């Protein structure tokens, strides 16, 4: 059974991290993925519940092109924290190959592997085509429901596949050692909300992409059908947050994210700039420097209050924090301060309103 799913009235809040392995200007991908492993260790020590890595392709901004490889490294670097994908971009791949890869990860870290899947391409059209073995077809979301159903058949309750399905025998040959990964659906659209609900899966809403996702949470709950693995709806809101010792510093730390996202929407993919360079860009381009995503920021009290509002808006069971900062010290400090703000070290559980349960 999924964590937190035993009773509909248990509005406990967990905190987790989504890491995109950002590449800082003047640095490189090797440093970025090394920092991801270091950050996972810190997250475990601070008391975060899970640590997920993202999938982006042909990107100068993010180094995480192969989450299953990064997750393998994370299983060796950690002992207790759940690790997983946020998420595998399923339209690119054979569901069986994904099932095998994450089964091996589950064998490495039994009971700790999350398989979060999404239907985005995570790239431009040319890169999406390059990822395809069959270059005569176009990668798209049209057959995503069928792909998701196949994954569910591999990892869900018996029998999984319908009688005489040619893949039925493969289910019992997956190398997870009896403890398969937990399947999650990621999304930022009504279609994903409906699919997650109808499949009885836990749902992760990308608030950092669509900050108006509360309606998706409502649609997911309205569509939800209890499954063998999940009796009640479970919502994670993945949201951007930056915490610093003072509000002014936290506000300044937003500028690299704002610049990266503004240029990304114009088709310009850049490494994560320094705070000084991003602030200078914002001064030259004030119209472009208005945040297009929600970024909760401030000192510990301000961030705790802000994240409490996000939680209440979604009715979230869990928050997954993401930030894109150019230097590792600021990133680690931010997650450390957020952990302090929610007393993660003392194992206290907060309600959906941000109050002690």
Return the domain boundaries, the chain: 12-258+293-351
Over range 341-348, report the average pLDDT.
71
Greater confidence (190 vs 11) lies with 190
Give the integer Cα–Cα distance in Å for 113 and 106.
Answer: 6
Q: Whole-number mean pLDDT of the chain?
A: 89
How far from the centroid of its chain's Cα atoms is residue 49's Cα? Answer: 13
Instruction: State the Cα–Cα distance between residues 275 and 321, nearest whole angstrom.
Output: 20
- CATH number (3.20.20.30, 3.40.109.10, 1.10.760.10, 1.20.1090.10) of 12-258+293-351 reads 3.20.20.30
For residues 153 and 347, give the distance between their C-alpha atoms in angstroms, rounded to a whole number.
36
Helices 190-199, 214-223: crossing angle, 10 deg rounding: 30
Whether the Cβ atoms of residue 272 and residue 256 lie closer than 8 Å to each other: yes
From residue 339, give the alpha-carbon distance in Å to each of 3, 152, 294: 20, 34, 20
Burial label for 246, CB within 10 Å (0-12, 13-18, 19+), is exposed
Is 185 exposed, middle or buried, given 0-12, 13-18 or 19+ CB atoms closer than 10 A? buried
Residue 274 token pair:
């320094």
Instruction: Please state the rounded mean pLDDT for residues 282-311.
Output: 95
Confidence band (pLDDT; 50, 70, 90) for 140? low
Sorting pLDDT into bands at 50, 70 and 90, what band is 357?
Answer: very low
Greater pLDDT, 6 or 298: 298
Task: Please give the average per-residue pLDDT across 313-327, as a whole number.
Answer: 95
- Band of residue 12 on the pLDDT scale cut at 50, 70, 90: low
Per-residue pLDDT reduced to its tens digit, 22-35: 999 999 999 999 99
With both helix axes pointing from N to C terminus, report the angle between 144-155 and 95-108 in degrees, rounded to the nearest 10: 40
* Consecutive H or E run containing 337: helix 328-341
Task: Give me 183's structure tokens.
Answer: 């399947």
Of residues 267, 272, 338, the one with CA closest to residue 308? 338
pLDDT tens-digit map of 239-269: 999 999 999 999 999 999 999 999 998 889 9
pTM over 0.75: yes
Closest CA to 109 of 44, 205, 30, 13: 44
Question: Residue 207 in contact with residue 213, Cβ under 8 Å?
Answer: yes
pLDDT at 122: 61
- Residue, of 1 and 191, whose pLDDT is higher: 191
Which residue did the predictor score with more confidence, 34 or 140? 34
Task: Specify the residue for token string 């936290």.
Answer: 250
- The rounded distance, in Å, linking the Cα atoms of 229 and 202 is 10
Distance separating the N- and C-terminal Cα atoms of the chain = 22
């Amino acid at each position: 059974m999924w964590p937190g799913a035993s009773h509909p009235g248990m509005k406990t809040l967990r905190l987790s991290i989504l890491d995109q392995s950002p590449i800082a200007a003047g640095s490189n991908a090797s440093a970025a993925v090394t920092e991801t492993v270091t950050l996972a260790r810190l997250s475990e020590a601070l008391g975060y519940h899970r640590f997920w890595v993202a999938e982006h392709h042909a990107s100068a901004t993010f180094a995480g092109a192969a989450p299953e490889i990064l997750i393998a490294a994370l299983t060796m670097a950690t002992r207790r924290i759940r690790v997983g994908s946020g998420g595998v971009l399923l339209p690119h791949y054979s569901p069986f190959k994904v099932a095998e890869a994450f089964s091996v990860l589950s064998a490495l870290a039994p009971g700790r592997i999350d398989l979060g899947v999404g239907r985005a391409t995570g790239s431009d059209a040319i890169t999406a085509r390059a990822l395809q073995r069959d270059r005569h077809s176009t990668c798209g979301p049209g057959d995503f429901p069928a792909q998701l159903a196949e994954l569910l058949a591999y990892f869900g309750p018996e029998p999984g596949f319908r009688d005489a399905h040619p893949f039925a025998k493969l289910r019992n040959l997956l190398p997870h050692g009896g403890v398969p990964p937990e399947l999650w659906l990621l999304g930022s659209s009504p279609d994903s909300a409906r699919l997650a609900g109808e499949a009885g899966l836990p749902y992760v809403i990308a608030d950092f992409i669509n900050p108006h996702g509360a309606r998706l949470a409502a649609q997911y709950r309205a569509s939800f059908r209890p499954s063998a693995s999940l009796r009640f709806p479970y919502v994670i809101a993945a949201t951007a947050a930056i915490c610093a010792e003072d509000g002014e510093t936290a506000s300044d730390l937003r500028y690299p994210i704002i610049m990266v996202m503004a240029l990304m929407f114009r088709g310009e993919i850049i490494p994560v700039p320094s705070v000084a360079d991003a602030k200078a860009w914002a001064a030259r381009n004030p119209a472009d420097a208005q945040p297009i995503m929600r970024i909760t920021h401030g000192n510990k009290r301000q961030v705790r209050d802000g994240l409490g509002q996000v939680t209440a808006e979604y009715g979230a069971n869990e928050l997954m924090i993401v930030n894109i900062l150019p230097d590792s010290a600021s990133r680690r400090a931010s997650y450390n301060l957020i952990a302090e703000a929610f007393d993660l070290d003392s194992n206290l559980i907060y309600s959906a309103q941000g109050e002690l349960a």
